[in-house]
Amino acid sequence: MSGSKLFRLDAGFQQYDWGKIGSSSAVAQFAAHSDPSVKIEEDKPYAELWMGTHHKVPSYNHETKESLRDIIESNPVEMLGQGIIDRYGSKNELPFLFKVLSIHKVLSIQAHPDKALAKVLHFNDPANYPDDNHKPEMALAVTDFEGFCGFKPLEEIADELQRIPELRNIVGDEVAEKFIKGIKPEAVKDSADDESNKKLLQEVFSKVMNASNETVVENARALIKRAHESPADFNKPTLPKLLIDLNEQFPDDVGLFCGGLLLNHCTLKAGEAIFLRAKDPHAYISGDIIECMAASDNVVRAGFTPKFKDVKNLVEMLTYTYDSVEKQKMTPEVFDRSSGDGKSILFNPPIDEFAVLYTTFENGAGVRHFEGFHGPSIVITTKGNGYIQLGDLKLKAEPGFIFFIAPETSVDFIAEDPEFTTYRAFVEPN
């Protein structure tokens, strides 16, 4: 039966405190438009839409209400493909988790463990680390987006240690001077100088993360006073307002230093993406994004959070790579397994569990054909109207409508208007 290889999904959502409120949230809009039984509460946050097989918030067949996990388990070879089963060892789970995030307040500054560390953390502390998988992730902007991603270039941090007394107070004169005098910004990646740079950066970060609460509060208040009264003291014109805004959300927080001053402030336009490797510090600040990640819920937090902060593991685990924002952004690739109207571009991160295909029809309505992928995929429509067609099965696609497509299944995306936009997460065997 052709219909079993293409079907609509209902996805669950999470109402974390940082989410956009009520119908201002893309998550709420998508959930309610896809499932009319969802009534948006205008005073509640709608933060994340989860699409996939993660046990915490599973997706269901829109028609039969059967969980995607159960559907896959009943026919794993057809739903996942033997290559995916052999590669990832599961007969009921996708190796990726696909999400929409609607961000009103800054998320915690965080990093995710790699596989080796995840196994150790999960074994030692399963309450805070619920699984043993790594969690590299990619963020694709749906609207204008702001976030923190990775450490700033070292010379910028050195400049701040000289310009901003409050940062120097927290780091201490000895470590600050050692950093300023010791860094070699032109070091070649993986060279001895690069390793030395990373150790110096780790010392600075450790000092910030281990500062006493009294020291943080005192210097945070002075820092915000400086941002209001002497914005020219900062080396980026956007930084004072950013710090002021963040302080309103999390007053006197260590995140002002470990995030606002040490991490890159990244902005993306719709259709741009960043990839965050395991052990890279990051935080999302505002906007609507599509996010794809390995199927894990492990988070090691540092700041801007009332939740558990694992400072020791965080300081030890980070890669301490440092680079400009532009080098963190992903370069989209041409996707040559589709043809016809519209345009498909591929965001293909340097890991195996997922890639995301972004398809638009800016030049007008039409039909784009896709050959079968060699693994399963999930599609979400974010704008416009159209259809997804498999043989004689033609399913309506509107904002928030989500679909599962089985491996080796050729489909057509039919745009009724130039707004029609889809994101398709997929995995294929190597």
Closest CA to 11 of 62, 45, 46, 77: 62
Instruction: State the Cα torsion 292-296-297-298 to the nearest 10°.
Output: -110
Amino acid identity for residue 44 in this structure = K
Cβ neighbors of 321 (< 8 A, separation 6 or more) are: 150, 151, 198, 280
Give the active site residue among 301, 337, 368, 424: 301
Amino acid identity for residue 429 in this structure = P
Whether 301 is a known active-site residue: answer yes
Q: Look at the alpha carbons of 226, 232, 233, 239 in this order and tell me if their dihedral is positive or negative.
A: positive
Q: Which two tokens stand for residue 28?
A: 């709420």
Closest CA to 359 of 419, 287, 269, 276: 419
Strands 300-303 and 273-276: unpaired
Q: Which two tokens stand for residue 188?
A: 């070649």
What is the 3-class SS of the chain, one letter each residue? Answer: CHHHHEEEEECEEECCCCEEEHHHCHHHHHHHHHCCCCCCCCCCEECEEEECCCCCCCCEECCCCCEHHHHHHHCHHHHHCHHHHHHHCCCCCCCEEEEEEEECCCCCEEECCCHHHHHHHHHHCCCCCCCCCCCCEEEEECCCEEEEEEECCHHHHHHHHHHCHHHHHHHCHHHHHHHHHHCCCCCCCCCHHHHHHHHHHHHHHHHHHCCCHHHHHHHHHHHHHHHHHCHHHCCCCCHHHHHHHHHHHCCCCCHHHHHHHCEEEEEECCCCEEEECCCCCEEEEEEEEEEEEECCCCCEEEECCCCCCCHHHHHHHCCCCECCHHHHECCCEECCCEEECCEEEEECCCCCCCEEEEEECCCCCEEEEECCCCCCEEEEEEECCEEEEECCEEEEECCCCEEEECCCCCEEEEECCCCCEEEEEECCCC
Q: Hey, which residues are catalytic here?
A: 301
